[in-house]
Structure formats: C-alpha cells, structure tokens
Structure 1
Amino acid sequence: MTRTIVIGGGIAGLASAALLAREGHDVTLLESRAELGGRAGLWETEGFRFDTGPSWYLMPEVFDHFYRLFGSSVAEQLDLVKLDPGYRVLFEGDPVPVDIRADRAANIRVFESVQPGAGRALDRYLDSATETYDMAVKRFLYSSYESFRPFLVPDVLRRLGRLARLLLQPLDKFVAGFVTDARLRQILGYPAVFLGSAPNLTPSMYHLMSHLDLADGVLYPQGGFSTLIDSIAAIARSEGVRVITEATVTAVRVNGDKTVAGVSFRDSAGQSVSLDSESVVSAADLHHTETELVPTALQTYPERWWQKRRSGPGAVLVMLGVSGELPQLQHHSLFFTTDWGKNFGQIFGKTTSVPSPASLYVCMPSATDPSVAPTGDSNLFVLVPVPADVTLGAGGINGAGSVTIELIADAAIAQVAQWAGIPDLAARITVRRTVGPADFADDLNSWKGGALGPAHTLRQSAFLRGSNMSKKVSGLYYAGGTTIPGIGLPMCLISAEILLKRIRHDTTTGPLPEPLPARPGRPAVPGGFGGFGGFGGFGGYSDTPAESAPPS
C-alpha cells in the first residue's frame, strides 16, 4: 500500500484521508491542534457551545454525495432541519427587515413586496443561477483541470459566449440588470462574501450561489457543525486512518530525485519525529505549506507568487452568551450598511481600514438548537469582516484581547443592539470571547490572517486558482479551501474528491460514481451518532492503527 501522510485535520484533511484510505492507501493524518475541525472548530463554556467557523449549510447534495461514496447518507449521519426564514436582513436606517424564506416561490413573493416587478426578475435570475449551478457541478467544480479536453463537449461549447460574459462581468453589474432596489441588490450580491470577495470583484458566474439560499433553502445540523466534523472523522477512522493530534508538521521532506520522502513533525511532548511516506497531502493553508514546509528551491508557489494574489477578508469573531431570548434576531441575521461599497473598499483596497459601521453577520443557533445554550438563554456568533491584517491583533476571553479587536467587538455589539432594537444587549452578556486575524495566523497558519483563503476573483477562480499538486515535488498534493475549487465546506469536500481524481489521473468532470468500492476487510461506515464514540488512545508512531483522540 502507498503510505500517505495528510497534513491538517479540518474537513478537507479528514475527507481526503477517508477517500485515500478507501482507495487502499495507508494513511496517517497529522493535526497540530488538540482537536480536529480546523476552521470548523468548537468552543464550550458555561453551558454554551459555539461553532467557531462555518455556520451555513448550503449545497446539501455535495454532503449527501460524499456520505454515499462510503455507503452512508446524510440522513444516517446528521439531523438536519430547514430554516424558515432562512435568514433575516437588516438595513441601515430602515426599521423594516427583510426575511428570506425557505423556498423559491416564497422568495419571489418577498422580492415582489419590496419592488414591484422584482418577483418576475428574481424568477429569471434564479433560472439563470440554477442553470449555471448545474453546469458548474457537471463540468467544472469536480475537475482537477489536469486536462482541458473534457470541456470540449457540446453543452459547454454552446455556452462559451455566455460563460465568457459571466466570467468578465462583475456580479454587482450583473445584479443591477435585474433589480433596482438597493436592498434587493445587496441580497443578490451578498453571496460574494461567502467566496471571500466583494460583488465588484467577483465574476457574475457566481450568481449561481443565489440558487443555494433563495431556491434550495438553508439547512442546519442539530448539535452544530462539530457533528459534521465528528461524522467525517468517524468515517476516516473506520477506513483505517491513523489520527495523530498535537503533531505540528515542520517540513515536507524530499528525496534527491525530487520525490516525497515524508514529513518531520513536532509531537505533543515537543520531540522531533520523522515519518516516511510515498505521498503527502497538505490540507493546511497553501501559502504556509509552500513557503514554510517545502524547500525553497522546490516551491511551486513561492512568496513572489503570493505577492500578486488577493486574500479574502480577515474577520473579528465575537462569541457571546446572552441571558434571555432575542426574538429580534433569526438563526442567521445580516446587517447591511447603506454604503457597503465603501465597506468593501476599506477591506480590499490598496489602503485598508476597519469599516465602521460594518456590514456584519450574526448567527444565533439557539433559535433552532436548544443544545447550544442554557435553557432560555441565547448563543450569538458575530462576524465582522475586516482587512486580512495580522497587525489588528488577537482576541481573548472576557475582554482580554488586543485593544483594537475588543473595540471592534464593542462597536459590533452596539450596532446589533441599535439596529435590531435590543437596547440592553451589552448588559445581558454573560460570556464573551473574541478572535482576530492574528489568531487565524497563529492557530491556522492562515495567509495574512485571512478568515477564508484567497478571494474568488477572476484570476483566482477555477484553474487560475492554482493546481492541487506540486509541479516540482512528485507525490506532494493539496486540498482544502486555499486550493481548487475554493472556499466553503462543500468546496472542501469536493477538493478531497478532486485530490483522489488527480492521483488516479481521472480527468472526468463530474462527481465520482457512488459508492466507492469497499476496501477489503474494512467494516461498514458507522451510521448516525452512535458511530462517534470509542476513540482509542494513541499508542506510538508504529505502523499499526493507533489514534489520538480529541478531548471530550
């Protein structure tokens, strides 16, 4: 069996490890932190449970496809609920919010109520978004771009002119061709933020994102997103993956013939360890992998390459435990400033600064999930987009973060209180933790302290985003949000599948057939939540399946 080391225990690393083990590789996964999940982390205190990263469950078919590859399903692994409203939008200076509903027909009525004629316009817009989304899934998202011949097919060639226009026209201009109301334009332009970009920088190809929230609806896994991580970790372990936590990779080792030799890492006791392998998959930040772990002469993406790239935004995260309920907010609430073009300019411009007021996001999972807060209390996760700039500082617990980060948090709390009509919000906070760009850099090795990864601009999308394999080191591959196809939990799952296709030299453009052939001697994938327990203790760096368990 090919010995393979996977660096990083986020969703992409876990999924990559599971797929490669299913393929027959002997897989060891190394995670630098004590817990798995990466950006999709979990923080618990005083009866509150906070997802510390992703909080939108979109593209449900991608998750279900991944589970079906292993003979399981979302229904067996997760307890999903559909949110209705999917989310609420509050606008600066406007006392009336707009609630986005759970299905297409309802949202057409919502748009019509805001602007006469906008309902019909949204119907056309979603027709285009759905067609583009279906094309993307069938022809582009699951491609490794190892070969361009699979794109020379009639359904792509017929649409070349339209695809070119969608790539060259920015999203904000495309949206303006459908609706005139500024609030509706913001709702249709907001998906650019999911892509780590701005509506004026994002190709209108990505209007396909509106198919996800305005037509498909927004889902939520009960128990939070850590249940998703737990389920994929359980699948990886059931496939024979050895998981070693508190293992900080310090170098990718390369043989004289420029083939992978393995990695060096520092274990939980601070000892340096070398682990041999024939292939290495880094699901860590690509900038960190290339500029810190790979020898300088063998870097495919050296520092000079990154100097020409644009990072997605940084973020200040504010996790709040609040006494009492907050009916003014929904599970997801978006706060949009009137001049949000100025906001984006402050974040992405040549001279950056922190927007104030900011177009920000608030998640209140306690509206849906009673397990995330003490009975009768509320769990708030506030995300303030800021420049990707580590000098803004780090966060802390109960105001212990850097002065700049805590001031940004204070301003966000005051803004939410004023706009949503919760005047006593600050006084009701019993738990507070902040996270800043320096934390993203220190904890996740994130390039520039960005919260998401390289922005999805034209020059950083599809095959222009970069390859998922090294051009100079044979056997070195990449997965995760900083490589193809891009940012987000579904994209990370797809990146793991693209990795497998790359290793197979499979140039097909669609999802793999379900299920994958079972590896001989492996038990069935655990179903439901009963499969998450029973993690054994790590017993050393041997070739026998040994694991280190995340803390309970």
Structure 2
Amino acid sequence: MHNRSRTKSGKSHEVAVIGAGFAGLAAASVLAESGNKVTVFEKNTGIGGRARTFSQDGFLFDMGPSWYWMPDVYDSFFALFGKTTSDFYELKKLDPGFAVIFENEVMDIPADYDAVCALFESIETGSGAKLRKFIAEGEFKYMVGMNDMVYKPGHSVTEFFSFKLFKDALKLQLFTSFSKHVRQYFKDPRLLALIEFPVLFLGAMPKDTPALYSLMNFAGLKQGTFYPMGGFGKVAESFKKIAEDAGVSVLTAQNIEKFDITSGSISHLHTKNSSIKTDAVIGSADYHHIEQHLLDENYRTYDEDYWENRTFAPSCLLFYLGVNKKIDKLRHHNLFFDENFDQHAVEIYKDKKWPKSPLFYVCCPSKTDPSVAPEGSENLFVLMPIAIGLADPDVIRETYFNVLMERLEKFAGENIRSHVVFKKSYSVSDFISDYNAFKGNAYGLANTLMQTAIFKPKLKSSKVRNLFYAGQLTVPGPGVPPSIISGRIAATELQKYLNTKS
C-alpha cells in the first residue's frame, strides 16, 4: 500500500479526522495513502489520545496503555506502509511477562510458554495439559477472530453468513460464559484469577463475557508481553510519523465544537476560530460526545437512554509517581490480587461504588528502561479499576493512595511514600475533561455478548451520510490493537463511500 495512489476517480477528497489517538492516526494514514487530503484535529496539545506522555523532574510517564500484547496487529499496520516495527522502536519481550501478587505468594509468569505450563502444573495437578488445550482453543479464536472477523465493519449480521465463518463462530464460543468456560479447566483460585484478570481490567464480569475472549489469554500467556523501549509514547509517535509521511496534517489544540450539515452530509467543521470545509469525517473521539454535543438531535443514531443502558468497561484511579530509590521486589508489571476478585468486580459493574478492598496494578517501566527515570530512581504507574461516573474529589483520591501504597509497601518490605518526589493523580473527572469520555470511562464498552461485533455502536452514522466512527466505543472494541484495527476499518468504509461519490 505504500505506493501512493489517487482515489478511483483520480480526485482527492478533503477528509477530517477528529482525535489523534491510535484509531484516528491509523484511519488518517490509510485515507491519505489512498490519495485523500487528510487533516487530524486533536483537542489536546499532544498526540496519542490516552497514550499521551508527560515529563517531570527527569521522569517520563506514559499516561495510559502499558501492556503491549498482540504484536502482529502493530506489525500488520506498519507493513501497509512498507515499514516494520523495528523501524520505529525496539520491542523487548519481558521475562517474567508479569507477576501476580496474592496474599502470601508471588507468581511470576515466565516468557517461555512451556515454563508457564509447568507453573500451572506445579499449582494444580493436571492443569499443565489443560492449559495447553485451553490456550490452543484461545489461539484458534485469535486466528479466526483476527483474520476473518475482527476486520469486518459490523454493519449487519450478513457479514458473518459464510458457512465457514458460521461453523467457526460456534467454535468461538460466543454464547458460552468466560467464567464457566475457565472453570471447566481450572479449580485453584489463583489460576482462575490469573486467567480472568484481562477480562476484569477490560470490561465486564467474567460471567457476562463470552468465552471468545480467551483469545486474550493466548495473547498474554503464549505470544507474551512486550515493551516498546522508550515507552508507549514511542508507539504513538510512530503512528504520527507514518501519518505525516503519508501527507496527513496533524493539528493539536484544535477542539471541534460543531458541524454544519447540508442535505444530510457534514459540509463544515467549526473550531473556536475557524470553519473548515470537508467531504467526510471520521470521529475517533468519544462517540457519545460527538453524537450528543456536535450533532443536533435529529442527526443522532443513538439517544441518551441508549448510552445510559450500555455496560461500560471500567474507569480507573491512576497515580504517576517518581520515587528517588530502587524498589527491589517490583517487577515491570505487577498485579495485586491480594483481595477478593469477585467483590471488586461487583463494585465496578453492578454496585458502581468506590471499592472496599480493591485489586490494583503497578507498572514499573524503569525496571526495563533506564530512559524513563533518573539513575537510581523508579517510575511507577499505579492503576485501580473503578466504576464509571463516580465523583473523584482529592480527598477520595488521597484516601485510596494511602490504601494502595500501604499494600505496595507491605509487599515491597520497605517504605516508599517518603521517597515519592513527584506525584500526580488522574481519574474520572480527568478522563471527562481531557477526552470527553462518557462518565469518565477509560476503556470504552465492556466485552459482553450484546456488545460484541454487530451489537456495538455502528461504525457508520445512520443519519449523516459522510460521518464514520472509529475507536474503542465502536467495532472491534477496547484496547490499543482493536483501536488500530478500528481506524483501518473506518478508513476502508469511508473510502468506499468516497468512491461512490466521485
């Protein structure tokens, strides 16, 4: 695709993309490569969306994504432009991939898959062989899902009507609960927690999530966990570079405030100071925000009740900490499962309240990457999943800071709080102000059956002819790889529309 070509008619169209996250930059790059004149409008001062970075006192903090799974999705995107991942950053496979901290023990998850199976076997007799079977199923789901299903636009059920896909869909276990599926293989609560954690962090109770999502366990336990040296910001920068090399103009600090719609199509976008003519728009900012705040009611596909009745993945309370000493016991990725998993899940998804005894996650990239902290220091990213829509005043944030740090210090066996030289918190109200995120969600819509594939908010507006959506609130779902794929699909669908217009 890296040989630039004009659109079918030879005409170049003006396309506007709202949002410079992974979905927006991916969509912009694909559309520019097809010969369109593409401009990305980003409301914040930096690119990357939730994968923004900031620097302070010699520390470089990734503000959002920190798990690099599904490396093939990044590889596939770069290959569209004749590039490889290594053209942009060095990818390091972590060993251990991550650690899970239980009440009285730490479980390191090795990079080597055979060693992971041996670890399972040492905890529960027979579970090594069961894990191989479970992951083989997950791998099948991943291959079918990633090759045949995930790049479909989700317009209607007919996309999935080929006999092969229908037959494969039965094997994908869309109608089996993830929780039930896992319990057919494993009994030990530690193994269950290890298998179920990606579901908790990316949306929905395990019992409400289709068993299809065991494909994530294949990604995490067999493909492995990677880290882009220099941090996730390097990945965002690589997407910006590809976009600009393809001819995209990326404008920051440009908040789109309204659309002009003529004969059912957007003709102009308005920022505070300017009016921009356009032939088509991809909205990769928050879907709800675009519909409810940029479109008049008669042009909205979904009303407010629709959004109120969706199941959202969590928001989170985050702390970015600079610590002026090394913390020996921490690994790069640390999952604290020293409290009750089920109770915290209920508090996120059902009761929607601040958790009593939360699980949490600590990322310490300075274990792998000396560039993100001054010598002799640690860079910590502490994340606690919470329900969306909670009030998050400083007093609540501070209370939880001390709850989490107490448990972290107990695990580390040393004082950390008195060595914190930089601290910044980030939570629900920040997600709203920075990303216009509906109720401060961090990860989009939960992966429930009724919110999978064709049941997600549509990629194409049903009321505005030249408006398409990308990002974590539409197909295929939350996370960086799905957002990249979402941008690619949206661009392909918009190009089809432009071709018919020419």
Query: Is the TM-score greater than 0.5?
Result: yes
**Paired residue secondary structure (2:207):** coil
Q: Gaps spanning 5+ residues in structure 2: where?
A: 1-11, 498-502
Matching of residues 402-551 of structure 1 within 5 Å: 402-418=394-410, 420-505=411-496
Q: What amino acid maps onto 1:384 in structure 2?
A: M
Matching of residues 75-224 of structure 1 within 5 Å: 75-91=86-102, 93-94=103-104, 96-146=105-155, 148-163=157-172, 166-224=173-231
Residue in structure 1 matched with residue 342 of structure 2 by the alignment: 341
Q: 1:73 aligns with which of 76, 84, 87?
A: 84
Q: What amino acid maps onto 1:16 in structure 2?
A: A
Contact kept? 2:178, 2:213, Cα under 8 Å: yes
Distance 1:219 1:107 in 2: 16
**Paired residue secondary structure (1:321):** strand
Residue in structure 2 matched with residue 292 of structure 1 by the alignment: 293
Residue in structure 2 matched with residue 316 of structure 1 by the alignment: 317
Matching of residues 27-38 of structure 1 within 5 Å: 27-38=38-49
Contact kept? 1:139, 1:151, Cα under 8 Å: no
Residue in structure 2 matched with residue 391 of structure 1 by the alignment: 391
Q: 1:52 aligns with which of 54, 59, 63?
A: 63
**Paired residue secondary structure (2:212):** helix
Q: Deviations 1:410-433 (Å, cap 9, x if unpaired)?
A: 211112112x23331112211111
Distance 1:458 1:149 in 2: 17
Residue in structure 2 matched with residue 364 of structure 1 by the alignment: 364
CA-based RMSD of the aligned residues comes to 1.4
Contact kept? 1:337, 1:357, Cα under 8 Å: no
Contact kept? 2:201, 2:314, Cα under 8 Å: no
Residue in structure 1 matched with residue 7 of structure 2 by the alignment: none
Q: Deviations 1:313-369 (Å, cap 9, x if unpaired)?
A: 1100011111221121110000114421110101111x3221232111110000000
Q: Gaps spanning 5+ residues in structure 1: where?
A: 267-271, 394-401, 507-552
How far has the Cα of 1:153 moved from its partner?
3.0
Q: What amino acid maps onto 2:14 in structure 1?
A: R
How far has the Cα of 1:201 moved from its partner?
2.2
Q: What amino acid maps onto 1:289 in structure 2?
A: I
Residue in structure 2 matched with residue 522 of structure 1 by the alignment: none
Distance 2:161 2:440 in 1: 39
Distance 2:390 2:495 in 1: 39
Q: Deviations 1:158-205 (Å, cap 9, x if unpaired)?
A: 334434xx2222211111110110000011111213422231221111
How far has the Cα of 1:147 moved from its partner?
5.3
Q: 1:236 aligns with which of 240, 243, 246?
A: 243
User: Which stretch shifts more, 108-117 or 153-162?
Assistant: 153-162
Q: What amino acid maps onto 1:119 in structure 2?
A: G
Contact kept? 1:311, 1:448, Cα under 8 Å: no
How far has the Cα of 1:2 moved from its partner?
1.0
**Paired residue secondary structure (2:330):** coil
How far has the Cα of 1:154 moved from its partner?
3.9
Q: Deviations 1:67-89 (Å, cap 9, x if unpaired)?
A: 01011110211111000000000
**Paired residue secondary structure (1:362):** strand
Compute the TM-score of the two structures, normalised by the length of structure 1. Answer: 0.86
**Paired residue secondary structure (1:159):** helix
How far has the Cα of 1:150 moved from its partner?
4.7
Distance 1:213 1:355 in 2: 26
Q: What amino acid maps onto 2:395 in structure 1?
A: V
List structure 1 runs of 4+ shifted beyond 6 angstroms: none
Distance 2:455 2:403 in 1: 38
Aligned length: 486
Distance 1:491 1:445 in 2: 20
Contact kept? 2:199, 2:205, Cα under 8 Å: yes
Compute the TM-score of the two structures, normalised by the length of structure 2. Answer: 0.94
Pair 1:21 & 2:27 matched: no
Q: What amino acid maps onto 1:185 in structure 2?
A: L
Q: Deviations 1:16-46 (Å, cap 9, x if unpaired)?
A: 1111111111111111111111100112111
Q: Deviations 1:369-423 (Å, cap 9, x if unpaired)?
A: 0000011111110001111124224xxxxxxxx21112122211112112x2333
Matching of residues 276-287 of structure 1 within 5 Å: 276-287=277-288
Q: What amino acid maps onto 1:314 in structure 2?
A: S
Distance 1:459 1:148 in 2: 13
**Paired residue secondary structure (1:389):** coil
Q: What amino acid maps onto 2:265 in structure 1?
A: T
Q: Deviations 1:238-277 (Å, cap 9, x if unpaired)?
A: 111112111111112211x1111121112xxxxx311110
Q: CA 1:157–1:13 in 2, change beyond 3 Å: closer, same or farther? A: closer
Q: What amino acid maps onto 1:174 in structure 2?
A: H
**Paired residue secondary structure (1:81):** strand
How far has the Cα of 1:149 moved from its partner?
4.5
How far has the Cα of 1:446 moved from its partner?
0.5
Residue in structure 2 matched with residue 269 of structure 1 by the alignment: none
Contact kept? 2:269, 2:276, Cα under 8 Å: yes
Residue in structure 2 matched with residue 275 of structure 1 by the alignment: 276
Contact kept? 1:5, 1:262, Cα under 8 Å: no
Q: CA 1:495–1:116 in 2, change beyond 3 Å: closer, same or farther? A: same
Q: What amino acid maps onto 1:375 in structure 2?
A: E
Q: Percent identity?
A: 34
Contact kept? 2:457, 2:473, Cα under 8 Å: no
Contact kept? 2:330, 2:412, Cα under 8 Å: no
Structure with more of its chain in helix, by fraction: 2
Q: What amino acid maps onto 1:446 in structure 2?
A: A
Contact kept? 2:389, 2:439, Cα under 8 Å: yes
How far has the Cα of 1:505 moved from its partner?
4.2
Distance 1:231 1:51 in 2: 15
Distance 2:168 2:427 in 1: 43
Q: What amino acid maps onto 1:78 in structure 2?
A: Y
Residue in structure 1 matched with residue 500 of structure 2 by the alignment: none
How far has the Cα of 1:237 moved from its partner?
0.9
